[in-house]
């Protein structure tokens, strides 16, 4: 299997870090915009979408700053990949800047970037940003 390509996307959100934190760090928050349902056992998150599921290992998180995880499928293939959602308040505009870092196969890069664009738009809609 070929190496996955790293990409980053940035979004401005009109919300508070506290609201964003609850949407990123809790199963109930994640299930409002990211997947249909989420279960967490130890450091493994199970995400459910339309009858299918994917699992990811939590690599790190810090309240009001970031969450980072790796899909178990990538972990099993010993790939150095992850999904990281990092956010901070822009001191000038007071808007929250959300930075997404993820990886995709070259032939799926545009599709995965569009998926994240749509997913973050779902997040914006849910939080009213």
Residue 118 predicted with pLDDT over 90: yes
Res 93: pLDDT? 83
12: left (phi over 0), alpha (psi -120 to 50) or beta: beta
Q: pTM here?
A: 0.90
* Whether residue 129 has pLDDT greater than 80: no
Query: What is the predicted pLDDT for the residue at 88?
Result: 93
- Domain ranges for the chain: 5-127
Burial tier of 41 (Cβ tally within 10 Å: 0-12, 13-18, 19+): exposed
pLDDT confidence bin for 1, thresholds 50/70/90: low
Phi, psi (5° rounding) for residue 7? -140, 155
The beta-strand segments (E) located in the chain are: 5-13, 37-41, 44-49, 52-62, 66-71, 83-89, 96-104
Query: Which residues is 62 bridged to in the sheet?
Result: 66
What CATH code would you report for 5-127? 3.30.530.20
Predicted confidence (pLDDT) per residue in 66-114, tens digit: 999 999 999 999 999 999 999 999 888 888 999 999 999 999 999 999 9
């Amino acid at each position: 299997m070929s190496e996955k390509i790293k990409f980053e996307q940035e979004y401005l959100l009109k919300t508070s870090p506290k609201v964003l934190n609850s949407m990123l760090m809790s199963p109930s928050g994640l299930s409002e915009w990211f997947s249909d349902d989420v279960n967490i056992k130890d450091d493994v998150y199970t995400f459910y979408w339309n009858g299918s599921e994917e699992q990811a290992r939590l690599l790190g998180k810090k309240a009001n700053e970031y969450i980072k995880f790796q899909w178990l499928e990538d972990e099993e293939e010993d790939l150095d990949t992850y999904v990281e959602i990092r956010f901070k308040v822009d001191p000038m505009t007071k808007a929250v800047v959300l930075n997404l870092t993820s990886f995709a196969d070259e032939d799926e890069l545009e599709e995965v970037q569009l998926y994240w664009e749509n997913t973050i738009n779902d997040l914006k809609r849910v939080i009213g940003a």
